[in-house]
Structure 1
Amino acid sequence: MLNVLSLLLALGGSPDSPIGAAYAQDAAHTYALKGLLYVQVYKDPDTIAAALAHDHVVRASGWTGTVTWDPSNPGACDVKITVPVNRLAVDEEDLRRALGYDTFPKAGEREDIKKEMLSEDQLSGTKFPQITYKSTSCEAAGDNVKVTGDLTIRGKTKPVTMTMTVKADAVNFQAKGSLAINATDFGFDPFSAGFGALKNQNRMILVVDAKGDPQ
């Protein structure tokens, strides 16, 4: 049912803007990442059975990652993230409520959705147990940071760029941003059932709201 994937990040630091000189006199800082990574998967509203479907929210659970950031050299940033596919959490009520949804699938339905999501023709969780992200470059973009890197889902790697709102100092790190990705870019088609009477859109939205603790 779901095409999903999970997850990306960025870096920066500043007093008034995300990439300032609040700790420019210091060396590069490395942070252990935590926080919220999730993907929103949308139903196709133009199908015959669209009224029977609903949008989905898939949260990355048990993910790990690090960010290294040198305020004097943004191009030297380094971001690494690993998401265990089998620990993806589907349509949790609290998260759906926080995002403004008014429908809440029951536990049995969520289990069925996750089983379909991990199936061979979707994320193929047994064969591809991890989603990974590795940055390749960072650059200032006004008050934001533009982070480019390699996102690997289902064994397929694609370069992606996310513009992040970042705040960082020697003891705190925070990054927020979102990015549209397509299921077909990573080797699988959107979920479809009933000969196309019900299906998901190809486009999904990956959302990052991450924090970091200095290592």
Structure 2
Amino acid sequence: MTLTDGTYRLGPSTGRLLIRTGRAGLGRRAGHDLTIEATRWSGEAIVAVRDPDRSSVSVTVETGSLEVREGAGGLKALTDTDRAEIKRTLADKALLHIAEHPTITFRSTGITGTPQSFEITGELTIKGQTHWVTVQGKGSDAGPLRGWATVTQSTWGIKPYTAFLGALRLADDVRVEFEVARLEPADGPGLPPHAGQV
């Protein structure tokens, strides 16, 4: 995907936002490595290709929109009942507490690099707590923009899920990934869509 200067909308119509979990503990063979997708999210990217300091990204995710897409590993296949139970668990106070904290937000504070290899630093707010996170990203003319960040759940006051008296637990670190297949120009003022094509 070729980037040009401008202000763009982000969301499910332009890409995907995924969370990938891992397992820990003696009972990890019984669980699944989960792929969870945010189905309702929105954002804005301001792109200044030749001056990345002028670029920025902001994203808001509805915590109630997280859906389990895949469950790898485990002693048995992930069922629809399992998916529904995981969704209920995510809503719990010990995890995301979505009744009190209906959104997760990210606001960039700095962007460096090129459209082919870039780094975004910013503030991630989960459950009312804000901490720094670094996102690594890559792009090419022939494919989508992709990126990832490691989020340590306990830093944001999230207690990783446990079962079997703690023998099975989710790893504290989860991997957040994004893929942007196309950019939709946003309405309103922004950087002019002219110079900066790469």
Using structure 1 for the length normalisation, give the TM-score: 0.76
Task: Say how many residue pairs are matched.
Answer: 180
CA separation in 1, counterparts of 2:92 and 2:163?
14
Residues 16 and 38 of structure 2 are in contact (CA less than 8 Å); yes or no, is this contact kept in structure 1?
Answer: yes
Residue equivalent to 1:192:
162
What is the SS of the residue equivalent to 2:166? Answer: coil
1:134-160 Cα distance to aligned partner (Å, 9 max, x none):
111111169411111111111111111
1:174, 1:212 within 8 Å by CA — same for their partners in 2? no
Match of 2:15 in 1: 35
Superposed counterparts of 1:125-164, under 5 Å: 125-140=98-113, 143-164=116-137
Q: Distance in 1 between matches of 2:88 and 2:43?
A: 26
**Equivalents in 2 of 1:186, 1:111: separation in Å?**
24
Alpha-carbon shift at residue 51 of structure 1 (Å): 2.4
Measured at CA, do residues 182 and 159 of structure 1 come closer, stay the same or move farther in structure 2, by a change above 3 Å? same
2:85 maps to 112
Identity %: 24
In structure 2, which of residues 35, 48, 56 is the aligned counterpart of residue 70 of structure 1? 48
| 8 Å Cα contact 2:115-2:138 kept in structure 1 | no
Structure 2: distance between partners of 1:205 and 1:134: 18
Instruction: Please identify runs of 4+ aligned residues in structure 1 that moved more than 3 A.
Output: 100-104
Q: Post-superposition shift, 1:167?
A: 5.0
Provide the alpha-carbon RMSD of the alignment: 2.4
Match of 2:153 in 1: 183
CA separation in 1, counterparts of 2:38 and 2:17?
6
Paired residues of 1:180 and 1:206 also in contact (CA < 8 A): yes
Aligned to 2:65: 87
1:121 and 2:94 correspond: yes
CA 1:167–1:30: 2 relative to 1, 3 Å: farther
Aligned to 1:214: 185
Q: Deviations over 1:8-67 (max 9, x none)?
A: xxxx83xxxxxxxxx5xxxx40111131110111111x32x2222111111011111110
The runs of 5 or more residues in structure 2 that have no matched partner are 187-198
Contact 2:20–2:174 (Cα < 8 Å) also in 1? yes
Q: 1:142 to 1:166 in 2, by over 3 A?
A: closer
Change in Cα spacing, 1:198 to 1:140, as seen in structure 2 (3 Å) is same
